[in-house]
Structure 1
Amino acid sequence: MSQGPRKIGVLDYVISDSSFRINELEIGPQLGMSEQGHLRIIFDYLCTVKLSENKEQNQTKKFNYTKTNFRESNEYFSRLDWNQLFKDKTIDEMYVIFLRSYEVTRQMFVLKKKPGQKKEMSSWMNSDVRNMINEKYKPWKRYSSKGWKKKHYAKYKIVRDKRNRLKYTMKRK
């Protein structure tokens, strides 16, 4: 951005997953009373995405970063000649080059999982146990946020023990 309170170049970032999502970017009125106050940035963020008729293309695959081969991905990045890739390029062009390199690395070294691919729930985990887990969380949150007082711990302990007994009986079935 090249507008500013003192007509000096102002550098601001609007980060999104796609450069096509930001539309009609403009600088709004200054916030605050000082000459160096912050400027408001006004823009339209496009939320809608045109879906393809192909169902496989519409299913975005999530990446399982816990199973990434970091050693090989780091080696791949270190083998790239960044000076040569970025030579005589604008910031936008460098950013696009980096994103493409990152995407290639992600496709090569990060495993994918299909959406909706869920871990099968244990047979003992039913709605009663899940409700007890949620019930246990409330007293724990109260205990941890109220200064670790004994009276809150006693309430938490009652719910915790009740949940553990229910879980144990469900596992035995």
Structure 2
Amino acid sequence: MLKHTLSVLVEDEAGVLTRIAGLFARRGYNIESLAVGPAEKEGISRITMVVPGDDRTIEQLTKQLYKLINVLKVQDVTQLPCVERELMLIKVNATASGRAEVIELAQVFRARVVDISEDTLTLEVVGDPGKMVAIIKMLHKFGIREIARTGKITLVRDSGVNTEYLKLVETVNSHQ
């Protein structure tokens, strides 16, 4: 099932997030990722949600969201060229013998070491969701103790440049 990314602008008032979460819960839909913060105008917040579902389901959810008080705009940005980012803190086992390898991996992923102890390293990773999956996969062999992730945030690219398309073109060209 496709995961859709919804960008929702709401009036920044108490209870808005509760009403949105309640709407999803009543209809039995899961929110896989949720990030909320102030938007470009004072008194307005942007909620970015990742929701599994087909196009018809997302269309129905969008209509339901618009019926909620305080919801100003709902946009499914899944197929639009976007800049996507996520922040993750990940605590990994790192004994003296494995520490150098963990730090080397962190450098490859442009992650920063933000805490160190005798037997762990905590890394800060910023990037697109694919980067998060990749670094978790690479660090798994060391033993992951804890992970905290913000959830995806996204803005539509005004340039119209679709980085996913560019990655595909680069892959095709490199194989020719």
TM-score range, shorter chain: under 0.3
Which structure's CA Rg is the greater one?
A: 1
Q: TM-score, normalised by structure 1?
A: 0.25
Q: Which has the higher helix share?
A: 1
Which protein, 1 or 2, shows the higher relative CO under an 8 Å CA cutoff with sep ≥ 6?
Answer: 2
TM-score by length of 2: 0.25
Q: Which has the higher strand share?
A: 2
